[in-house]
Amino acid sequence: MSDDKKLSNNAKGFSRGLTNYGDKDFSLYLRRSFAKSMGYSNEMLERPIVGIVNTASGYNNCHRGVPELVEAVKRGVLIRGGLPIDFPTISLGEVFLNPTSLMFRNLMSMDTEEMIRAQPMDAVVLVGGCDKTVPAQLMGAASADLPTIQLVVGPMMTGRYEGARLGACTDCRRFWADYRAGRVDTAQISAIEGNLATTMGTCAVMGTASTMACIAETLGLTLPGTAAIPAVHADRLRAAEATGAQALETARLGLTPSRLITEKSVENALRVLLALGGSTNGILHLTAIAGRRGIAIPLQRLNELSDSTPVLINLKPTGDGYMEDFHSAGGMGALLRELSPLLHLDCLTVTGATLGERLAAAPGYVDRAIIRGREEPFEAVGGLVALFGNLAPGGAILKRSAADASLFETTGRAVVFTSLEDLADRIDAEDLDVKADDILVLQNAGPKSPSGMPEAGYIPIPKKLAQAGVKDMIRISDCRMSGTAFGTIVLHVTPEAATGGAIGLVQNGDEIRLSISNKSLELLVDDTELERRRLSTPARPARPSRGYAKLYADHVTQADQGADFDFLMASE
């Protein structure tokens, strides 16, 4: 039998998913012919294929190292006798997207899913890192369900300013707050701007990108020990090569995302999210990823786990350290080992080993200043808590590990901003009627709002209060907050104002009661008055009439469903 004939009988490599011309042999002949125009030999064309998702982009500073990583993945694939082929998808650079990167996460997930499914490959390596890219890739891969390994680009190194370590982006916010309050002048903030993000890689703290890298490793979808390797470290390239080398074995073992993303592994990922003091975005993204496999994450379950999962990691914005410290302190292996009595150890990983088998290896050095033991945690309970009440019947999220505990049991007067524009116009007005013990409320910034749930929940302290020394206030919104931010900030209020949620009915002067011990968020206005307000609320703004914005507005789900598109979620 000729080599060509052998290949046509084998639904691997280039013979997978043939283009439909009504004649399969012709389709394969044509494909091979066009592939040969790229210089491939017959021997290469017969190899199994590892697709590599290449997310390099001039609009994504965090992914500046992706081309080198892709080359290293290719080396690994070639070592094991595969054919590596990289292909582009959308790349989402967090700070370059308008109105907000979240709006394009679902688009990137569709791009990723469809290109994995449409093109011939036996396994896929996802190269991503910046905030929304890893969630998008894992959502897409979970739906496509081809053997998959995630490779993250790794975190940035810290910079220095006048002897102080700086890392994007917790320090970005700290210095900006100081600048607004007049403690830092214009020349200083300009110098700081040049030292916050000084290398390639993702934000240097336990923000959303790092949280999602750790979640991907916990789900078993990365090689062990690779989540926290800095972007510029040679180990990052070695991890890329090893990922490429592993990909065909992962395919041979049939380790598809549906075997790795299970109720148990999702629960493990929730434990890790809580123990990290991880990003509030982490719960949104994990819910969306799990939703692609029909796995629900009730926020009540988040609370149960949070009450029994200590914060063990001392990284900003919850603590003091940076991701490079986490890596040298022992990284995810050390954290998972500490959490192991709370984890489902029978979950599979991309290597074919279970989580328990992975953790059976010798523990190695652990820096207890960064990764604590369970018996001496940084916080006794988990970093996130869900709140419920008449202001958030579907739940809201507070990152208690990054909040001011003195505000945890508070009743305060609402100061309301009806939109992002209203917030920008009035927050610094001299005549704004606001006091330090008031509660700032931002409306109409949820998933279905025109702004698409931006990271605007970190409402600035009004300038006149900031200048008077106020550093934290209770802030409530239906939008999100950067994983690098801190403060007593209630987010993801569900349902959002744009769908008629009670947050849209709050008026200036209303009393709101926040109780972390009761996990409650109440608007102290009686039901009759709320109903009257509901009936007199002006018509909501018109939805977009075309294109992706219309698709988004028509189909995005609420925060408690992960803000995925309803038609992309798997049925449970």
Site for ligand FES, residues 335 to 394, rule: CB under 6 A: none
Smallest distance, Å, CB 19 to ligand FES? 36
CB of 95 to ligand FES, least distance (A): 6
How far is Cα 427 from Cα 180, in angstroms, rounded to an integer?
Answer: 12
Please give the size of the binding site for ligand FES, defined by CB under 6 A: 9
Strand partners, 53: 87, 126
Paired tokens of 517:
């011990």
Spatial distance between the Cα atoms of 462 and 468, rounded to a whole number of angstroms? 10
Of the two residues 127 and 248, which places its CB atom closer to ligand FES in the complex?
127
Under the criterion CB under 6 A, does residue 473 sit at the interface with ligand FES?
no
d(CA 346, CA 250) in angstroms, rounded, equals 17
Contact mark string toward ligand FES, 289..328, x via CB under 6 A: ----------------------------------------
Choose between 201 and 495: whose C-beta lies nearer to ligand FES.
201
What are the CA-CA distances from residue 225 to residues 218, 275, 374 (Å)? 10, 17, 20
Phi, psi torsion values for 54, nearest 5 degrees: -100, 115
Residues within window 478-537 making contact with ligand FES, judged by CB under 6 A: none
Q: Minimum CB separation from ligand FES for residue 197, in Å?
A: 8
For the beta carbon of residue 114, count every other beta carbon within 10 angstroms. Answer: 14
Three-point CA angle 402, 269, 215, nearest 5°: 80
Instruction: Report the nearest approach of ligand FES to the CB of residue 349 (Å).
Output: 24
Considering the complex, what minimum distance in angstroms separates the CB of residue 233 from ligand FES?
17
CB of 199 to ligand FES, least distance (A): 12
* Interacting residues of 405 by C-beta distance below 8 A, sequence separation 6+: none
Considering only 49, 52, 62, 420, the residue that binds ligand FES (CB under 6 A) is 62
Taking the least distance from each CB to ligand FES, the nearer of 56 and 506 is 56
First to last CA, the chain: 47
Nearer Cβ to ligand FES (227/514) = 227
Residues constituting the chain:
572
Per-residue x/- mask for ligand FES, residues 93 to 112, rule CB under 6 A? -xx-----------------
* Least separation in angstroms between CB 93 and ligand FES: 7
Q: With respect to ligand FES, which residue has the nearer C-beta, 195 or 557?
A: 195
Q: What is the DSSP string of 80-127?
A: TT-EEEEEE-----GGG-SS-THHHHHHHHHHHHHHHHHS--SEEEEE
Choice between 289 and 414, CB closer to ligand FES: 289
Are 242 and 188 in contact by the 8 Å Cβ rule? The answer is no
Measured from the CB atom, is 130 or 311 closer to ligand FES? 130
To the nearest whole angstrom, how small is the minimum distance from the Cβ of residue 62 to ligand FES?
4
Distances (CA, A) of 497 to 35, 489, 521: 52, 17, 15
> Could you say which residues in the range 75-94 bind ligand FES, by CB under 6 A?
94
Q: Minimum distance between the CB of residue 204 and ligand FES, rounded to whole angstroms?
A: 9
Fill in the per-residue mask, 165 to 204: x = in contact with ligand FES (CB under 6 A), - = not in contact.
-------------------------------------xx-
Smallest distance, Å, CB 455 to ligand FES? 10
Binding mask 119-138 for ligand FES (x = CB under 6 A): -----------xx-------
CB closer to ligand FES out of 81 and 194: 194
Judged by CB, which is closer to ligand FES: 91, or 488? 91
The neighbour count for residue 95, using CB atoms within 10 Å, is 14
Which residues inside 198-227 make contact with ligand FES, applying CB under 6 A?
A: 202-203, 207, 209
Smallest distance from ligand FES to CB 49, Å: 29
3-state class of 321 per DSSP?
Answer: strand
Which DSSP string corresponds to 339-366?
Answer: HGGGS-TT-B-TTS-BHHHHHTS-----
The H-assigned helical ranges of 154-256 are: 170-180, 186-193, 208-218, 234-252
Complex with ligand FES: residue 231 or 312, whichever CB lies closer: 231
State which residue, 209 or 332, has the beta carbon closest to ligand FES. Answer: 209
Amino acid residing at 396: A
Whole-number minimum distance, CB 376 to ligand FES, in Å? 30
CB of 101 to ligand FES, least distance (A): 9
The span from the CA of 123 to the CA of 145, in Å, is 10
Cross-strand partners of 124: 51, 148
The residue with tokens 């808590």 is 385
Nearer to ligand FES, 207 or 495 (CB): 207
Burial of 508-532, coded b for 16+ CB within 10 Å and e otherwise, reads: eebebbbebeebbbbbebeeeebee
Taking the CA atoms of residue 561, residue 563, residue 564 and residue 570 in that order, the dihedral angle to the nearest 10 degrees is: 0
Which residue number, 57 or 202, has a Cβ lying nearer to ligand FES?
202
The binding site for ligand FES (CB under 6 A) comprises 62, 94-95, 130-131, 202-203, 207, 209
